[in-house]
Every structure is written in C-alpha cells, then in structure tokens.
Amino acid sequence: MSTPDAPDRFNEEKQTYTVRGVDQPDLEGGVAAIRNVLKTLPAKPGVYRMHDAKGDVLYVGKARALRHRVTNYTQVEWLPHRLKRMMAQTRSMTIVTTNSEAEALLLEAQLIKRYRPAYNVLLRDDKSFPFILLRSDHAFPRIQKHRGARRAKGNYYGPFASAGSVNTTLNALQKLFLLRSCTDSFFNNRDRPCLLYQIKRCSAPCTDRIDAAGYADLVEDAKSFLGGKSTAVQTKLAKEMEAAAEALDFERAAMLRDRLKALTFIQGSQAINAEGVGNADIFAIATKQGHVGIQAFFIRGGQNWGHRAFFPSHTADLPLEEVLTCFLAQFYEEVPPARTILLDRDLPEGPLLEEALAERAGGRVSIACPQRGDRVRLVKQAIRNAEEALDRRLAETTTQGKLLREIADLFELAEPPQRIEVYDNSHIQGTNALGAMIVAGPEGFLKNQYRKWNIKQAATNDDFAMMREVLERRFGRLLSEDVAPAQAGANLEAGASADSGPRLRGGDVEAEPEWPDLLLIDGGKGQVSSVKSVLDALGVEDMPIIGIAKGPHHGREGREVFHFPDGREFTLPVNSPVLFYLQRLRDEVHRFAIGAHRTKRAKAITASPLDEVPGIGPARKKALLLHFGTARAVRDASLEDLQRAPGVSAAVAQAVHDFYHAG
C-alpha cells in the first residue's frame, strides 16, 4: 500500500537557522515538510523517500515503525552534519508501507539501486555476475556462460567473480565432461563433428558419437562436480581409467587420463582452500583515509569461484557495520544469496538481514562472524585482501587525481574535469557509418554511459559533417533535457506533488542531465572547428574543446598534436604521464567505435530484403530462400508460386506478395 504525501507549501521567506555553528538557511523548510508528513504517518513498517525541490530522491530509508523513525528527523539538534545538509534540501516525502521490516529492507535496497540517492550508501560496481548454466530444455543439455535474468530452464552455478574466471572454468569443464556448448540451431544442422570434438572438448552428440544414456552420465557427473562432489567424480574417473587399461583399451584410458588432468587443474587453480565450507559468500570490510573497500569471496561446493573488491560511495561518517549492512542488501538485490554468509564483524541488523535474504533465497540463510576453525582463516584472508585492494585503489585514485589536475592546467580549465567526453567516427568508405562517445572521470571509464549514433543525415564520406551531426544530436538532447528538471522544480515550488512532472521508465523522476567538463575530439583543426560551430549555433558557451590529431608519423612516436579552438597547437613530451592518459582515452574511443561499427557491418552482411516483410520470421524466411534460391526470386514470384513453397501458408504468401506488389 502506498500513501504519497504532497509537500508542505512552506513560506520561502525564512530567516537563517544556525545549529552547532553550521549555517542552514533552508533547514526549517525541511523540518516543516517532515512535520507535514507526520500528521498522517502510520506506526507501521515501511520505506520512506525524501525529495528535494526538484523532485529528485535524496535518501531512501526503512523503518520498523515509520512514525517513530521519521520523527527523529525533526529533532535537528541531534542530527549529524550529513543529515542536516539533507534536511536543508528536503521538501517532500513519499511513503510506502510494508507487511514486515524484512520486506521493507528488501524494498529499500531495490529503491536505492533504482534512484541512486545522494545520501545513501551506494554499491557503485553493480554489473551483473556471470553464471554457468547447464540447460535442461534439450535431450542433450548445453553448458554455457550466462548473464542477466534467469529465464532459461536448467541449473545455474555461480556467481563467478569475473568473466575470466567463468571462461577458465568452462574450458576446463569442457575438457572434463565433454559437454556441448553450441547453440541448438548449430547442433541441429551438423552432419559431421566440429573442431571441438577433434580437440577432445565435446563428445559430439550432434552426430551420434555418443548416445543419450552416455551423455546423460556426463551431465550427471558435471552436476555432481559443480555441486561440490568433486572427490566422487575423481574416484569414478580413476576407476574407469584403470578398467580401460586392464581391458587394453588404451585410447579410452588416455582420454580418461586427460579428463582427470582437467579435474586436477580446476582443483589446483583455486586461490584458497575452502574444502568443507560448502556454499558460502565471505565478506570483509576495510577503511582508510575516509574510503571504504569490501572484499568478497564466492565459495561453491568447497571451490573458490573467484573474488572481487567493491568500493561503495557515500560512506563518510557512517559506522562500518551500517555500510556493510547496506552493501549486502544491495548486493543481493541481483545475486542469489548463499546459504552461509561469513563476515569479519557482527551486524546489529544481522537477524533482520537473515530474514530478508531468506525470503529471497527461498530457504534459511545464516549470517555469522566465525570465531574459530577454518572459517576464521578464510575471513582473515578476506580481510587481508580487502586492505590490499583498498591500498591499490587509493594509489590509483591519487594518480588519477594528479592527472586530472594536470589536464586542468594544460587545457586551461577552472578545476579538474569530473566528466570527460571523447568522440570519434567509424566507417568504411562511407558505409555503416556511426559516431561514438566514451566517458571518463575520476573513477576511470564510465562504460554504462558510452553512446553510439547511427549517421542519418550527414554524407557518410564527410568526417566533418558526421562529427557535426553527432554533436548536434548529443547537445540538442542535453539542452532539451536540461529544461525538464527546472520545470519539475518550478512545479514543486508552486505546490505540485513530488510525483508530478517528467518521468523515466519505472516512475523515476528525471535527474539533471550530466554536462561534460571537457570535450576531446579525435581529429585536428577541421573536426574541432566543426564541433565549435555546432555548439555556437546551439548557444552552448564556455565548453572546453580539444582535438587530438596524430603527428607527422601517424602517432607512432607519441607525437600527438593537440588543437585548441582558437588555432593554438602544442605537443607533449613522449614520456609524459598526461600524454599516456590522453592516448588511453583516444584508444578507448577507437576501440568502442570500431567495435560498434563491426557489429553494425556484420548485421548488414547477414541482412536480407525479406527482413522488411512484416510477419516473416527466421523459419519462413529460410523456407522461402531454400525454395526460390534468392530474395530477388522471392520478390518476383507470383502468388501461386509463393503458395507452393513448403512451410508457407496462404496468408503468409499473400502478405509477401502484397508487400512487393502493392500499388
């Protein structure tokens, strides 16, 4: 049940309110908004969202009793400075009641990931984790890497810490169990074994080199191994190898020996010995110089499936126990919880978190801080890795900050850039042309903000025109979006609801668009001039623009030439760290643009004129092409000929004929 409350129409004419020496001119407005909500707030569990004057979410919190929890915000003198700043910005609240506090904890994590508020602890590295999927929707199940929603039928094993760790494990599993990894369409159209069979990584069920019963035995062995019964699988393979050797079947014995080697490789590649732990996730937290790092180990079936370091943001002035609790709630928003979660410290809300995660896991989840035995050793190793990862992060951050300060001096910026956008075009003789943008900042490359544009209007053999089109579309949209938050703020100041105004998918209030602090253009004077003319026409002023052009020897000696819009040029010493960083940015936009271009070109190569016919899917398109030979022949065929094609109904034939012969 949701009970949103409209913001209080407070008087903007307020005197400055000072608490503990901190000047807070708008603090009374925030307190007034909270008191207005308290009039109808129930003493039930639920989640509350605090909004600023523009409707953006400042904070998401949960409570066992909403009225009691929200009342605390009106006692300003007891609030820490961080919450005073938040209260000074607060102008409205949205309330959602739940059936239990555990349900509120899950909803809080979901809303934090959706809105990413400025005053919540945020899990910045929220990319999906890879899994191994052993499918069950085929007579000969396929083993594959999987990311994203788990819609396919089968057994999922994971998470793995990285794509590299899952790929390594998959390669070893193919050697060990000889399970197919090909798609169903590839499988169904084979008349002889593929290369994977020749290199002994598949048993070739597609050509009946193994029967269904034999393949089912391999699948069961794989399930046993991935489920933690590696010793049983090893014993079984050893007995089969000995039996084959005694029967003088040396070829089979050698194949089983190779599979045992693959099993030994998997077991020996584990970074830590987690035998006897079963399925567990291990977390340890470290702090230094105001930064927080969290190390995670993933143990499945007594095997270490990798580890990853996380660096949550907005953690200043918060107890580490609270940071870790918020982190775990957000982490398990996407990842299925392990039955056992081992931590380096006890959490005050540990029992509540257990209850919430048990609902998500569909069974009991235990959260513990071990005090003795092998589990303590594993936690200590996680603590050591967390501290080392945080040290590396701080060293990288210091280096990155120094580079950005030097860039600010070099390109005459007022302050170090927080958002650098780099642009490039890619095409082959004008075909499949597109523009690309990458984004970099203090935290490195922001890959979730990369963009690409198909060139629609400009001549695709004119690099200057293509660059103009890309920048027109990028900054034209920025300008249009920049009006929306301001309008939303005006609506709220006029007394509109916090939920009114512009929206994105999922009901999110639009945030202010992120403007770049520096534009880097791959090109010389011509490209920089084109970009400058576009921004001038749009009325965008004071936007720093720098062109990066290859030197006289095409950049082989690191002699890139940098171009200012006013015509100035300069080069950097070949051993300059700033030059290396700018080259990395240029190379990254090249990589992204070329990769996007190759994908577009590959789609164009496999495209067919039949793709444009409505109602024609892959199966019917294949039937028509097999019957007529070419798409041109399909286009020229009569209605009677189309109706005689196998697998094509009268209605489909009529649709194809009408598409090509209408008018």
| pLDDT over 50 (residue 4) | no
Q: Is 63 helix (H, G, I), strand (E, B) or coil?
A: strand
Whether residue 405 is contained in a domain is answered as no
Handedness of CA 389, 390, 392, 397 (dihedral sign): positive
Could you tell me the pTM of the whole model? 0.64
Cβ atoms of 167 and 145 closer than 8 Å: yes
Does residue 435 share a domain with residue 566? yes
Does residue 384 share a domain with residue 438? no
Whether residue 547 is contained in a domain is answered as yes
| pLDDT over 60 (residue 505) | no
Q: What is the side-by-side strand order in the sheet with 280-288?
A: 303-310, 291-300, 280-288, 340-343, 366-368
634: domain CATH number? 1.10.150.20
Does residue 596 share a domain with residue 472? yes
| pLDDT over 80 (residue 130) | yes
The per-residue pLDDT for 617 is 73
Whether residue 400 is contained in a domain is answered as no
Whether residue 12 is contained in a domain is answered as no
Does residue 439 share a domain with residue 305? no
Does residue 348 share a domain with residue 222? no
DSSP code for 105 = H
DSSP code for 337 = P
**What is the average pLDDT across 616-630?**
75
Whether residue 185 is contained in a domain is answered as yes
For the chain, what is the domain count?
Answer: 5
Does residue 300 share a domain with residue 255? no
| pLDDT over 50 (residue 507) | no
Does residue 238 share a domain with residue 158? yes
The per-residue pLDDT for 558 is 59
- DSSP letter for each residue of 397-439: HHHHHHHHHHHHHHTT-SS--S-EEEEEEEEETTEEEEEEEEE
**What is the average pLDDT across 274-300?**
85
Q: What is the CA angle 364-148-123, rounded to 5?
A: 70
Does residue 581 share a domain with residue 433? yes
Whether residue 370 is contained in a domain is answered as yes
Whether residue 407 is contained in a domain is answered as no
Cβ neighbors of 30 (< 8 A, separation 6 or more) are 73, 86, 87, 88, 89, 90, 91
Does residue 64 share a domain with residue 103? yes
435: domain CATH number? 3.30.420.340
Of the pLDDT bands very low, low, confident and very high (cuts 50, 70, 90), residue 588 is: very high
Task: Determine the Cα–Cα distance for residues 531 and 470; give it in Å rounded to an integer.
Answer: 9
Does residue 328 share a domain with residue 427? no
pLDDT in tens, 29-39: 888 888 888 88
Longest pairwise C-alpha distance within the chain: 97
| pLDDT over 80 (residue 292) | yes
44: domain CATH number? 3.40.1440.10
pLDDT in tens, 219-246: 888 888 777 666 677 777 788 788 888 8
Residue where one domain finishes, among candidates 268, 297, 331: 268
Copy the structure tokens of residue 240.
């089969």
Does residue 571 share a domain with residue 429? yes
Does residue 648 share a domain with residue 569? no
Residue-number span of the structural domain to which 77 is assigned: 17-115
Whether residue 647 is contained in a domain is answered as yes
